[in-house]
Amino acid sequence: MPDFTPVLKEDEIKRHISRIAKTISFDYQGRELVLVGVLKGAFLFLADLVRELALEHVKIDFLQASSYGADTRSSENVVLKKDIDVDIRGKDVIVVEDIVDTGLTLTFLIEHLKTFGPNSVKVCAMIDKKERRKAAIQVDYACATVEKGFLVGYGLDYAEDYRNLPAIYHLKL
Ligand code: IMP
Ligand code: MG
């Protein structure tokens, strides 16, 4: 039986999302925002976040990047598995990620999105995990920062399990 230690409870996640949503709503007032969720991990986070945004024009799309193997290591070779189809030229984009670890996935995805000519690209992540950062990624909006460890729940998986947990846990394997 794996060992789960709570990191963020359901009501804490909810409070963080409300806080971030207020900031984003303020920052993007009167602009055309496109939220680009990174599949699959960001599906719950994006769904909860978008419902709290007080903005008139919000579009939603998804990207998927592949990571090799079903283990706890991040891949250094990022490959695009699913592209966006909303036209982001001249628009303001926020990439919505579950967790930023090395930052290599986001670096790749941001470079890719920039080829479409958006007005701006910012980053919103549920968890900003600092210890293994290899790329200079700025997380503009984050629920929480952790130093290290492998987290599951609320979209985050271990070998595709535990995404359905309503809270976030540290998983000791
Ligand atoms: P990065 O390229 O190292 O930043 O990796 C980011 C991706 O690795 C995330 O989008 C997750 O899919 C996965 N990942 C990194 N850390 C964790 C974790 O603690 N739990 C679950 N997935 C993780
Ligand atoms: Mg991910």
Distance of CA 1 from the midpoint of ligand 2 (Å): 25
- Of residues 72 and 16, more confidently modeled: 16
Which residue range(s) make up the domain with 127? 9-147
Is position 87 within any domain?
A: yes
Return the closest-CA partner of residue 168 out of 59, 157, 119.
157
Q: Which atom of ligand 1 is nearest to the CA of 132?
A: 3
Is position 13 within any domain?
A: yes
Distance CA 152, CA 70 (A): 13
47-77, pLDDT tens digit by residue?
999 999 999 999 999 999 986 544 455 556 8
Q: Which positions are annotated as active-site residues? A: 101
Is position 132 within any domain?
A: yes
- pLDDT score of 140 more than 80: yes
Count of the separate structural domains present in the chain: 1
What is the reported pTM? 0.94
From the CA of 39, which ligand is nearest?
2
113-133, pLDDT tens digit by residue?
999 999 999 999 999 999 999
Is position 104 within any domain?
A: yes
Is position 3 within any domain?
A: no
- Who contacts 64 (Cβ-Cβ below 8 Å, separation ≥6)? 38, 39, 40, 80, 81, 82
By the 8 A CB rule, do 20 and 78 touch? no
Is position 35 within any domain?
A: yes
Give the pLDDT score at 77: 81
* Mutational pocket test of ligand 1: of 99, 130, 146, the residue with most ligand atoms within 8 Å of the beta carbon: 99
By the 8 A CB rule, do 42 and 126 touch? yes
- pLDDT score of 21 more than 70: yes
Distance of CA 100 from the midpoint of ligand 2 (Å): 8
By the 8 A CB rule, do 56 and 28 touch? no
Is position 83 within any domain?
A: yes
Is position 48 within any domain?
A: yes
- Backbone phi, psi, residue 14, to 5°: -60, -45
Instruction: Check which CATH number belongs to the domain holding 102 and give it.
Output: 3.40.50.2020
Give the pLDDT score at 70: 44
Give the pLDDT score at 68: 58
What percent of the chain shows pLDDT beyond 90? 91
- pLDDT score of 143 more than 50: yes
